[in-house]
Structure 1
Amino acid sequence: MVRRLALSINVIYAALLLYYVLKKPNIPLKTKGIILGALGYFIVPTDAIPDLIPVVGYSDDLGALVLALAQVSMHVDDDVKSKARRKLTDWFGDFDGSELKDIDDKF
């Protein structure tokens, strides 16, 4: 259960990072396309590995989101990270922020 929750929070955090980058002014059209493609893949329930399969179901979503984040990483700044973490706190209350270290370390 803990591992599944940690993976879920990482997936949602990655999606939130992309969302807040998308909302920034002056983001190039190509960057917006990359973000929208990754977020679209995340929300579509019929992807490569169905999300109903515990733990594994979100791994392909996380992979797509992290790949998109790698391509738009120059736009992920402290403000974007702060907004994403605040939203996670709104939704999940207090959580162990170290769970997000894997994603933060990439940017």
Structure 2
Amino acid sequence: MAAGGGSADEARVRRDFWPTIRRVARNVPFAEDAVAAYYCALDRETPTHVRAALLGALAYFVLPLDAMPDFLPLMGFADDAGILAAAIAAVRMHMTDRHRDAARRTLADEELV
């Protein structure tokens, strides 16, 4: 997470999440979890520490350069999936049916994928 709090991560996620997920949604098996995490992270009812963990993981997901560059076929999102899976596992109880339902509806939208 960015130094000085989560505001930089939140700004990056708000700016870059949708272009990234639109580009990769058909090719990554964790797209629904990523979108549900996005909705949970931006939900003001979600506890601050949960929001911070998810925003950090989502910021890593949207970074164009990371441990394994995302343009590498099949392998490029392995590190992103691992980071996101760890964050989700740590805060799973805070990801509600409302977040997951919103993710499913969003991914079903033809404009997204």
Q: TM (normalized to structure 1)? A: 0.73
Give 4+ residue runs of structure 1 displaced > 2 Å after superposition: 4-7, 23-26
Equivalence for 1:96: none
Equivalence for 1:34: 53
Q: Do the aligned partners of 1:11 and 1:61 also contact (CA within 8 Å) in 2?
A: no
**Which ranges of structure 2 fall in alignment gaps of 5 or more residues?**
1-23
**Which ranges of structure 1 fall in alignment gaps of 5 or more residues?**
93-107
Q: TM (normalized to structure 2)? A: 0.69
Note if 1:19 corresponds to 2:52.
no
Greater percentage in helix: 1
Q: Do the aligned partners of 1:11 and 1:62 also contact (CA within 8 Å) in 2?
A: yes
Higher RCO (CA-CA < 8 Å; seq separation 6+): 1
Residues 36, 58 of structure 1: CA spacing in aligned structure 2 closer, same or farther, 3 A cutoff?
same
Equivalence for 1:43: 62
Equivalence for 1:68: 87
What percentage of aligned pairs have identical amino acids? 36
Equivalence for 2:15: none
Q: Do the aligned partners of 2:41 and 2:52 also contact (CA within 8 Å) in 1?
A: no
Question: Number of residue pairs matched?
Answer: 88
Residues 75, 55 of structure 1: CA spacing in aligned structure 2 closer, same or farther, 3 A cutoff?
same
Q: 2:103 aligns with which of 81, 84, 87?
A: 84
Q: Deviations over 1:61-94 (max 9, x none)?
A: 11111111111101122211111011111123xx
- Deviation at 1:26? 2.4
How far apart, CA to CA, are the structure 2 residues paired with 1:69 and 1:5?
A: 18
